[in-house]
Amino acid sequence: MTRHLICAAALCLWTLASPAWAQTQSSTPDGLIKSVTQDVLESIRTDRSLQKGDLSRLNQLVDQRVMPVVNFSRMTALTVGVNWRKATPEQQERLMAAFRELLLLTYADALRQVQDTTVQVRPARYEAEDTDVVVRTFVLRTGKEPIQLDYRLQKTPEGWKIYDFNVLGLWLVDHYRAQFAQLVSAKGLDGLISALQAKNQTLRQGVQAKAGT
Amino acid sequence: MRLWGANLSVASGLRLGMLALMLGLSACASLPEGHQADARDPWERYNRAMFSFNTEVDDAVLRPVAKGYRDVVPEPLRDAISNFIGNLSDMITTIHHLLQGEAGKAGNAAARVFINSTVGILGLGDPASSVGYGKTKEDFGQTFGRWGAGPGPYFVIPLLGPSTVRDTAGTAFDFAADPFNLVFQVGSATEMGFQITRLVDRRASLLDGESTLDALSFDRYVSVRDAYLARRNQQISNGDVPAQSQDPVNGDSPK
């Protein structure tokens, strides 16, 4: 089960690495996910340095392609929960930076494990006036159960934006929120930021060691 | 009759031992600073203690063995072993789909068993996946859930890991209906060999994901628990997405 979770987490982060141009053909939430998924599967397949976990290359990709389709500030705020409102603007900035790096490093680590997959995007069921939609996808692998991977999108003036994803039933925002709340309650908001940074440090070393840099 | 009686006394002895172990563990387990109580996990002190015990056993025995297995046995052979075990579990899955009233999925699983046992040479290959019969996996915990049984409290089973009260009962039935026990004599060397192979195969399949799980975890116990409960919930609802419980920032978009 853990492996399914991980592969799916990898794919889901992977899928977030979408090209900005994908948006042009993505006025619908499922259309967005579909074009993003197909494009990203293709670009990872053809880029050896990404498969190996080259961090600077990955950073570049995320900046260019992921950020345009993700409402990252909302995502960070939701994971921090009620404590977000108690944070100063400066703390919020540091939280977002640390959380962004956490996702990036998780992604880098997981990329090495995802191969030979196809993704099926289900048509989303929603009304024209809906501003919050879940898109379901299935990651298909030979001889294994498909991994269900869902995206939650919000309609914004700049188009649909992803702000949460669900891997095998677990919403990542919920998943982080429980653990972040524990850290804030024990050590305060600055303690949470330090914990995120310490985690990132460990992950960075691991990724770099494996990438052989 | 005599055998049955002996089994019973062994079972009650085990139960007593388990109870003593649970009480002992509860007494010495402590909760981390800033701990957030979870309504689904009333036995958290015991569960945390058992989780760390299981982790120690895994570190000492199972993980090293699984790593050795992965390093020594070539991949095609490992795949064949996984497929063979998977084919047996597809047989059980067929029955579970029927028990849950899912005729179409039962047909799919039965087709898998038929194709993989013949074209796939006794289940060593998985040609069924290539021709559109995708894998599903069901167990007694899921079947009980489909019949309306709630999960009950989260429960970490000694050595076996994350579960709930319902899934623990399910696991007992799974053992009783184990296809290995139908094919081989229980307790025979062959049966034990297959059981151990299956355990190592299962553990080896989890090796790759560990570092990423750690990346997702600030408190590994909480991560594993939440992932387990969410996954089971999804398996039983057959993939319907649960709504987010609440908007923790009081419904406002922060920016």
State the pLDDT at residue B24: 58
Residue percentage of chain A with pLDDT more than 70 = 81
State the pLDDT at residue B192: 84
- Is the predicted pLDDT of residue B198 greater than 60, yes or no? yes
How far apart CA A185 and CA A207 sit, in angstroms, is: 30
State the pLDDT at residue A212: 62
- State which residue of chain B sits closest to A79, comparing Cα positions: B248
State the pLDDT at residue A8: 53
Phi/psi region, residue A167 (left: phi>0; alpha: psi -120 to 50; beta: rest), is: beta
Please tell me which residue, B51 or B206, carries the higher pLDDT value.
Answer: B51
State the pLDDT at residue B235: 87
ipTM for the complex shown: 0.73
State the pLDDT at residue B253: 38
Beta-carbon separation of B212 and A102 below 8 A:
no
Beta-carbon separation of A81 and B36 below 8 A:
no
Query: What's the pTM value of the predicted model, to 2 decimals?
Result: 0.78
Please tell me which residue, A141 or B63, carries the higher pLDDT value.
Answer: B63
SS (H, E, C) chain B: CHHHHHHHHHHHHHHHHHHHHHHHHHHHCCCCCCCCCCCCCCCHHHHHHHHHHHHHHHHHHHHHHHHHHHHHCCHHHHHHHHHHHHHHHHHHHHHHHHHCCCHHHHHHHHHHHHHHHHCCCCCCCCHHHHCCCCCCCCCHHHHHHHCCCCCCCEEEECCCEEEEHHHHHHHHHHHHCCHHHHHCCCCCHHHHHHHHHHHHHHHHHHCCCHHHHHHHCCCHHHHHHHHHHHHHHHHHCCCCCCCCCCCCCCCCCCC
State the pLDDT at residue B6: 42
Instruction: Kindly tell me the burial class for residue B168, based on how many C-beta atoms sit within 10 Å of its own C-beta (0-12, 13-18, 19 or more).
Output: middle
Average of per-residue pLDDT across B115-122: 90
Q: Tell me if chain B has a CB within 8 Å of the CB of A186.
A: yes
How far apart CA A193 and CA B34 sit, in angstroms, is: 15
Residue percentage of chain B with pLDDT more than 90 = 45
Beta-carbon separation of A182 and B219 below 8 A:
yes
- Is the predicted pLDDT of residue B27 greater than 70, yes or no? no
Residues in chain A with pLDDT < 50?
1-3, 17-25
State the pLDDT at residue A193: 95
- Is the predicted pLDDT of residue B1 greater than 80, yes or no? no
Average of per-residue pLDDT across B104-116: 93
Q: Tell me if chain B has a CB within 8 Å of the CB of A171.
A: yes
- Is the predicted pLDDT of residue B250 greater than 50, yes or no? no
State the pLDDT at residue A108: 72
Average of per-residue pLDDT across B159-170: 94
Q: Tell me if chain B has a CB within 8 Å of the CB of A132.
A: no
Beta-carbon separation of A78 and B35 below 8 A:
no
Q: Distance (Å) from the C-alpha of residue B185 to the closest C-alpha of chain A?
A: 28
Q: What is the mean pLDDT of chain B?
A: 82
For chain A, how far is it from start to end, CA to CA, in angstroms? 31
State the pLDDT at residue A116: 65
State the pLDDT at residue B21: 61
Q: Tell me if chain B has a CB within 8 Å of the CB of A116.
A: no
Q: Tell me if chain B has a CB within 8 Å of the CB of A67.
A: no
State the pLDDT at residue A174: 87
